[in-house]
Amino acid sequence: MTTPTAPQSLSSIMDGNSFQARDLDTLPAAERELITRRMAALGPSYRLFYKAPVHAERAEGCYLYSPDGTRYLDAYNNVASVGHANPAVVAAVASQMSRLNTHTRYLQDGIVDYSERLLATLPAHLDTAMFTNSGSEANDLAIRVARLWTGGEGVVVTAEAYHGTTELLSRVSPAISGGFPDDPTVRVIPAPDTYRVDTEDMGAWFAARVREAFEDLQAHGITPAAFLADSIFSSDGIFPDPAGFLHPAIEVCREFGALFISDEVQPGFGRTGDTFWGFERHGIDADLVSMGKPMGNGIPVAALVGRSEILGRFGKEVPYFNTFGGNSVSIAAAAAVLTFMQDTDLRSSVASVGADLKAAISGLTADLPWVGDVRGRGLYIGVEVVRDRDTREPDSVRALELVNAMRERHVLISVAGPGNNVLKVRPPLVFGGAEVALFAERFQDALMAVERR
């Protein structure tokens, strides 16, 4: 348990799988020229993926296409949750844009209809929605709401969490927090690493870490306000199981008067397959739930959902507004996504296809001494690449070799975790049996290539 300390030299979320300028000369002339222009116009903050960046011109379903027609299987992009260029979403956005796109201070049917449908997917106590443009804004708003409600300032997060890019969110996002000053109101606890933590009861172990953090905040005169987590611990290395282990930690939150903010940008909208929302897998009640761009298939729309008494007090006491959060076009996109998910029973498909994908990966890596663990739920799978299974030491070099070997074979994945050694397989939710077969074929070939190296 720590407060953020020295600036990090490497941001896992930014630099784990980033293009390096030293590799520029290895690329074809046309791409060298475009990258050089991009670097000059956008500056150093904008990273590209892969040793040889993917030049994307169009996309459809689970595939991206380069200008020369090369097809890439997308096993990484969660934002295009119901598939790239989903026809239903495209039609809804085009139709709405042709009629009206404005803010929420005019009376409109769309935002009310969608809010009622969205709230119906959540437990009954989560009965009020507020809309923003991004998950960062939603999480920023969640912390403000929690601090007003509790009268406290203290926030607890996990060691490699990522929750957004505002200044406030960077202070509770260790994965990108290098360069920002210490925040005495933030406590960082170890992730529930089921691969490395030696415990028979992850729930009790993790709850003890949350308790220690809240007690330390109090010891420094800081009242706890919130525990903020995504229930799949995606940036920490992907730790969704065992289902239910978060329950004791949330009981600790209640004991200290803190709110539980469930960041559902990654595990929400059916990605885990067995429940529509990630926190539901653990049999827990969230006080606030944040959502991000997957809810609109990439159109900028996000939301914070919570208990009416909590959000109601905030609305009465704080002059908050978000000019284009929940605008007409973004709500149309979100409504089309939800309709598509419900009409196609997409969550059931995610559960079965995800199980097949995980089984295929497990089978292909079972005899490799440098693959220590395959874990995940639904269409969110992590593959732990290690130096050897005895030490469990992360092997980021081999992991990145494998990521780039897959890219060479026209399949897109990335890495996660503090050691940049956990392969992150997180495709659009419309991934099907054909995509699993193609992924397995290319993955087997990439594993053999990396093994030979």
Residue bearing tokens 């892969």: 50
Clarify whether residues 118 and 213 are in a common domain. Answer: yes
* pLDDT over 60 at 2, yes or no: no
CA proximity to 34, closest of 67, 59, 60? 67
Q: Is residue 38 part of a domain?
A: no
Band of the pLDDT at 7, cuts 50, 70, 90? very low
pLDDT value of position 24: 85
Q: Which residues contact 341 (CB under 8 A, 6 or more apart)?
A: 82, 269, 270, 347, 429
Distance CA 240, CA 296 (A): 24
pLDDT value of position 9: 45
Distance CA 318, CA 287 (A): 19
How many folded domains does the chain comprise? 2
| 293-306 tens-digit pLDDT | 999 999 999 999 99
Neighbours of 243 (CB within 10 A): 16
Clarify whether residues 292 and 424 are in a common domain. Answer: no
Clarify whether residues 173 and 306 are in a common domain. Answer: yes
Stated as kind and residue range, the H or E segment containing 332 is helix 328-343
The per-residue pLDDT of the chain, averaged, comes to: 94
For residue 385, the cross-strand partners are: 371
Q: Which of 343, 372, 400 is the last residue of a domain?
A: 343
Q: Is residue 46 part of a domain?
A: no
Determine contact, residues 374/382, Cβ cutoff 8 Å: yes
Distance CA 424, CA 402 (A): 11
pLDDT value of position 10: 54
Amino acid 250 reads I
Clarify whether residues 362 and 242 are in a common domain. Answer: no
pLDDT value of position 1: 60
| 231-286 tens-digit pLDDT | 999 999 999 999 999 999 999 999 999 999 999 999 999 999 999 999 999 999 99
Q: Is residue 185 part of a domain?
A: yes
| 176-196 tens-digit pLDDT | 866 566 799 999 999 999 999
pLDDT value of position 44: 84
Clarify whether residues 63 and 130 are in a common domain. Answer: no
Clarify whether residues 65 and 109 are in a common domain. Answer: no
Clarify whether residues 132 and 198 are in a common domain. Answer: yes
* 63 alpha carbon, distance to own chain's centre: 20
Q: Is residue 29 part of a domain?
A: no
Amino acid 105 reads R
Band of the pLDDT at 377, cuts 50, 70, 90? very high
**CATH code, 78:** 3.90.1150.10
Q: Is residue 207 part of a domain?
A: yes
Q: What is the mean pLDDT of residues 354-361?
A: 98
| 9-24 tens-digit pLDDT | 456 667 778 778 788 8
| 379-429 tens-digit pLDDT | 999 999 999 999 999 999 999 999 999 999 999 999 999 999 999 999 999
Q: Is residue 224 part of a domain?
A: yes
Band of the pLDDT at 25, cuts 50, 70, 90? confident
Q: Which of 291, 322, 343 is the last residue of a domain?
A: 343
Determine contact, residues 428/61, Cβ cutoff 8 Å: yes
Q: In the 8-state DSSP scheme, what is residue 227?
A: E
Clarify whether residues 93 and 197 are in a common domain. Answer: yes
- The pTM assigned to this predicted structure is 0.94
CA proximity to 84, closest of 380, 335, 441, 337? 337
pLDDT value of position 30: 86
Clarify whether residues 309 and 211 are in a common domain. Answer: yes
Q: What strands lie across the sheet with 224-229, from one edge to the other? A: 128-132, 302-306, 288-291, 259-263, 224-229, 154-158, 186-189
* pLDDT over 60 at 8, yes or no: no
Band of the pLDDT at 43, cuts 50, 70, 90? confident
**DSSP-based helix, strand, coil % in the chain, nearest 5:** 40, 15, 45
Q: Print the domain residue range for 73.
A: 54-84+346-452
**CATH code, 157:** 3.40.640.10
Distance CA 240, CA 358 (A): 14
Pairing of strands 371-376, 381-385: antiparallel
Torsion of Cα atoms, 8 then 11 then 16 then 19, to 10° = -100
| 95-131 tens-digit pLDDT | 999 999 999 999 999 999 999 999 999 999 999 999 9
How many Cα atoms within 13 Å fall on the side-chain side of residue 183?
21
Distance CA 405, CA 87 (A): 32
Stated as kind and residue range, the H or E segment containing 440 is helix 433-452
* pLDDT over 60 at 139, yes or no: yes
Q: How many angstroms separate the Cα of 308 from the Cα of each of 129, 276, 288, 317, 381? A: 9, 21, 10, 14, 35
Q: Is residue 240 part of a domain?
A: yes
pLDDT value of position 6: 33
Clarify whether residues 380 and 329 are in a common domain. Answer: no
pLDDT value of position 417: 93
Q: Which of 277, 310, 343 is the last residue of a domain?
A: 343
